[in-house]
Amino acid sequence: MELTNQIKNVCRIGQGNACCRYLTVSPSGWNCEKHSSLKKLLDLRVKENSIVAQGDNCEGKSNEFLNAPE
């Protein structure tokens, strides 16, 4: 799976707490869960400090955008 500039520099994959909490991956590629039903769960997990990725790094991107070749 390609690490695009968005994934590396905005979503900040691999950067601990700075990594976006809404970034997920599936067999079809990268996903942004900021506007999905997972948002509440991910926000709760950050509040409970039970996940490493705690960033809220952008307004949310479409999965097509995240997976578009550069």
Question: 31 by DSSP, 3-state: which?
Answer: strand
Q: What pTM was computed for the model? A: 0.94
pLDDT digits (tens, 9 = 90+) for 6-41: 999 999 999 999 999 999 999 999 999 999 999 999
CA 44 from centroid of its chain's CA atoms: 15
Q: Confidence band (pLDDT; 50, 70, 90) for 2? A: confident
Instruction: Return d(Cα 68, Cα 21) in angstroms, integer.
Output: 21
Predicted local confidence at residue 4, as pLDDT: 95
Predicted local confidence at residue 39, as pLDDT: 98
Beta bridge pairs of residue 23: 32
pLDDT digits (tens, 9 = 90+) for 50-70: 999 999 999 999 999 999 998
